[in-house]
Amino acid sequence: MPFTIVRQDITKMEVDAIVNAANTDLKMGGGVCGAIFKAAGIRELQAACDKLAPIKTGEAVITPGFSLPAKFIIHAAGPIYSQWTKEQNQQLLYSCYINSLKRAVENNCETIAFPLISSGIYGYPKEDALKVATSAIHDFLIDNDLDVTLCVFDKATFTVSHELMGHVESYIDEHYVKTHEIKRKQPTDKVRNILWEANKDISDYNTPIFPEMLTSTVGEAASLSDFVGNLDEPFSQMLLRLIEAKGMTDVQVYKDANLDRKLFSKIRSNKGYMPSKRTVIALAIALKLSRKETEELLERAGFALSHAVKFDVIVEYFIINGKYDIYEINEVLFQYDLPLLGV
């Protein structure tokens, strides 16, 4: 799972390294910093930090994890937010994440967990802090294989763009079918008049609409079957054809799909392997497939999108609007307490 978001106490994460939102003096502070010191052992951790202090804002250093489940603690000094120095704040916060990730790789870590640095008492707006975090992590993972987790203690510490959430909520309100019960479509006034004039029973017009019929055809590209060839070929073979047709590399695809390299290799090499629905959708996002193409890819693995499933409706919103940033999609899914893509 290259990058995921969880609601959990970072001090309880069983990973190779956790990141402490530190001050430049590496002294025990409040919030996440205080919790990490207490869980690790205040005396031991402070002694280790004193040997490395001070550090500059944006820098990161590493100490043992002591009593924590994590092997290491990476201490990153985030910026104190000021609206007068937004660009500098962004650069320093970005450096916090990049330098922390570098320390992890240098110490042979395979898994690392972050808090949302500087978003607490340092006053960095949570929405902006999240954008910087995901941007830095995404950039680093392009050239590195590392499992990264962003830990948030509660939803109050995690904020997605209000504009984006508003668009998603509107789309859900318009398309989400809460149950599998039959919904009857009522005729318009024009149709009523036609039926009345024809002396027909308008009840004949009350055709049942099932979730599988509720699909969008807005802006559809050419059908996937137009360029993948034999419809009877295995999913893995079809995927390889599709990657070639899109002019992408395997690395580009599994990185953009937020998939583990080992999982992608299993899909690629095992002709009989059938991935999960979330994995198939993640691959569709990476390949920037249209709504119809995504449906055809899902069908090959035995799945389908349904307007009776909120997860599917949210994914559909991003696809039909040409928004293929899987991190952004996962941030919205997290807000709805739904499973994330590719992890």
Q: Which domains does the chain have, with CATH numbers?
A: 3-157 (3.40.220.10), 165-177+216-335 (no CATH), 179-213 (no CATH)
Instruction: Calculate the dihedral angle through the C-alpha atoms of 154, 81, 127, 133, rounding to the nearest 10 degrees.
Output: -80
> Using one digit for the tens of pLDDT, what is the confidence trace for 92-121?
999 999 999 999 999 999 999 999 999 989
Residue 8 carries which DSSP code? S
Give the mean pLDDT of 253-277: 91
Cα separation, 246 vs 330, whole angstroms: 23
Band (205; pLDDT cuts 50, 70, 90):
very low
pLDDT at 177 over 90: no
Band (180; pLDDT cuts 50, 70, 90):
very low
pLDDT attached to residue 156? 61
Give the mean pLDDT of 51-55: 97
pTM over the 0.75 mark: yes
pLDDT at 60 over 60: yes
Higher pLDDT, 343 or 328: 328
Higher pLDDT, 192 or 237: 237
pLDDT attached to residue 10? 96
